[in-house]
Structure 1
Amino acid sequence: MKAFNVQLVGAMLALSAAVHAAPVLDAAPRTAVVSAFGPEETLLLNQAVDKREYRVNGVRFTTAQLEGRPVLLFMSGVSMSNAAMNAQLALDRFNVSRIVFSGIAGGVDDRLRIGDVAVPRRWGNYAEAIYARETAPGRYAPPPYADPAARAHYGMIHPRDVKLATADGGSETRFWFEVDPELLRLAKNLPADTLRGCDAAQRCLSAPPRIVAGGNGLSGPIFMDNAGYRDYLAKTYQAQVVDMETAAVAQVAHANRVPFIAFRSLSDLAGGSEHANEMDTFMQIAADNAANTVRGLLRALKP
């Protein structure tokens, strides 16, 4: 009877493992092309061939050929949690050789213009923070474990690094997650002649758009449209752009040791303009420019 029980328990454990295992849906090595904006994904899907669609937890993943390269196309979803979750889903269920993120962003660096495509060399989560206790009007006391010398605070908001596990069972603490140096090298040499200056309604940019590689990108689960906080991000982090997803995907790529890069085209100035936020006016131009730059990178990759 004991032997039977052992065999039964073993069989149940094996069945449980089989039920909960995440089978690889496609074994071919592919570049994951992640879109943050629906019309942008549509543009890439319309240019792709040999498409096959999969659904995982309601998320659509499409294997295809784009610019002659095998790709996996999917949406990040809005904000940090969705982006991290869907990126890890892709890595678990497909054979992803690199991750290329494409989307729109708010400009933080005053040298950048709407329509430009920023390709930062590293990304960080500016919303990872301690909201400190107010001890007197306008005075805030962070807890003892906070590092007051790390970065300047913004009122009660004291930024901090993120702690994550390492492959050897240890941990590390960091703020920045670097993009792949070889992908960044390719991005620096991409031509800007595929970038659009006007949309179908003939709404046009004030100057020809550019591809600007290097510098710092920031992400957080916040739609940024505040001039004061924008200035703080520019001074504290020397940031070029801010968005709501990229740093989360950069962290997932780092944890999985997968090469990563992101192209973010400016749809607005994150609160830095004199008038209302420009995103609704220029987001299609920005999305198209980011997507076209991704296509240029795919063409530059070795077959």
Structure 2
Amino acid sequence: MTIGIIGAMQEEIKLLSESMTIKESKNIGMRNFYVGDLFGKDVVLVFSRCGKVAAASTVTTLIETFGVNLVIFTGVAGGADKSLNIGDIVIADKLVQHDMDASALPPFRKFEIPLLGVDTFEASPKMTALAKLSAHHYISESMKADVAECYLKEFEITTPNITVGTVASGDLFVADIQKVQSLSREIRNLKCIEMEGAAVAQVCYEHNTDFVVFRVISDKADKEAGINFPKFIEKTASHFTCGIIKQFINEAG
């Protein structure tokens, strides 16, 4: 099995790249794809850049050029569920493109992808369960040794909540609580909002390839969404993603 791992920001995959034995690097479509060994598994690691088009282009290359069998997309996201706090982890079982709306053209529904006939992309239950188990393992066994206590205190993180639910993606950095509330009314079990996951899910759906999307909550997707964002990614979220992926790929075989 070859696993493709993607992050939308360089900082989100920095620790993974430092843990990897890189055997080859290929520049395709203005992106560097690093081929090698990560925690004893064959992987291709890549920084996609932000947004749905960037993510879709990157995952297409992973599948068609490198022949990956499983795609992992990770990083941070804004929380939509009021019960979630900074540092909590969302495992996507369903993904929706919240900015897709062709409903002015009958018979399309809002969020439906024209000509595919679906408005939601579902992750494999097996992979979702494994991702949740891996997150629990990291939080209980490694987090406190991995992340400096001062940063856990700064972001008021004790024992992060791990939840499975819907992730909404769109080419918009949401920092408007009214927008969050509107999407929460329209999208069942919405947990978080980001800019890439559902595009990755669509490409994997069209190529019959397994995928996992998990996100670390960095903000509440409100007017305070930018506060401490770079520091949180570097000092906390990047450790979470690296540790969870380490456990996940070891279990995935």
Mapped partners of 2:162, 2:202: distance in 1: 22
- Trace 1:269-280 onto structure 2 (pairs within 5 A): 269-271=220-222, 277-280=227-230
Equivalent residues in 2 for 1:210-229 (5 A)? 210=160, 212-229=162-179
Q: Which runs of 5+ in 1 are unaligned?
A: 1-28, 131-141, 151-158, 165-171
Choose from 142, 163, 167 the match for 2:114.
Answer: 163
Contact 2:14 2:238 in 1 (8 A): no
2:193 corresponds to 1:242? yes
Residue-pair matches, total: 245
Distance in 2 between the 1:209 and 1:101 partners?
23
Which sections of structure 2, spanning at least 5 residues, go unmatched? none
**Superposed, which structure 2 residues align to 1:277-296 within 5 Å?**
277-284=227-234, 285-296=236-247
Matches within 5 A, 1:32-43: 32-43=4-15
SS at the partner of 2:24? strand
Aligned to 1:168: none
CA shift at 1:40, angstroms? Answer: 2.2
| CA distance, structure 2, for counterparts of residue 234 and residue 52 of structure 1 | 43
Q: Do the aligned residues in 2 keep the contact of 1:119 with 1:211 (CA within 8 Å)? A: no
Quote the Cα distance in structure 1 between the aligned partners of 2:98 and 2:150.
36
Partner-residue secondary structure (3-state), 1:129? coil
Asked if the contact 1:121–1:213 (Cα under 8 Å) also holds between the matched residues in 2, the reply is no
1:189 maps to 133
Q: For 1:209 and 1:73, locate their aligned partners in 2 and report how far apart those are by CA, in whole Å.
A: 29
Q: Among all aligned residue pairs of Structure 1 and Structure 2, give the percentage whose two residues are the same amino acid.
A: 22
Judged with a 3 Å threshold, the aligned counterparts in structure 2 of structure 1 residues 213 and 276 are, in CA distance, closer, same or farther, namely: closer
Q: 1:240 to 1:98 in 2, by over 3 A?
A: same
One-letter amino acid of the counterpart of residue 279, structure 1: F
Measured in 1, the distance between the counterparts of 2:105 and 2:14 equals 49
Q: Which has the higher contact order (CA 8 A, sep 6+)?
A: 2
User: How far is the alpha carbon of 1:277 from its aligned partner?
Assistant: 4.2
**What is the alpha-carbon root mean square deviation over aligned residues?**
2.3
Preserved CA contact (<8 Å) 1:31 1:99: yes
Aligned AA (2:55): A
Determine whether 1:113 maps to 2:85: yes
- The structural deviation recorded for 1:199 is 5.5
1:16 is aligned to none
Hey, what does 1:101 align to over in structure 2? 73
Q: Which has the larger radius of gyration?
A: 1
TM-score by length of 1: 0.74
Match of 1:31 in 2: 3
Structure in which a larger fraction of residues adopt helix: 2
Name 2:124's counterpart in structure 1.
180
Partners of 1:37 and 1:287 within 8 A in 2: no
Closer, same or farther in 2 for the Cα pair 1:258/1:226, shift >3 Å? same
After superposition, the C-alpha distances for 1:191-249 in whole angstroms (9 at most, x for unaligned) are 11333695697462213242524210000000000010111122221310110011000
Tell which deviates more after alignment, 110-119 or 216-225.
110-119
Q: Does 1:256 align with 2:207?
A: yes
The reply on whether 1:233 has 2:205 as its aligned counterpart is no
Superposition TM-score, scaled by structure 2 size? 0.88
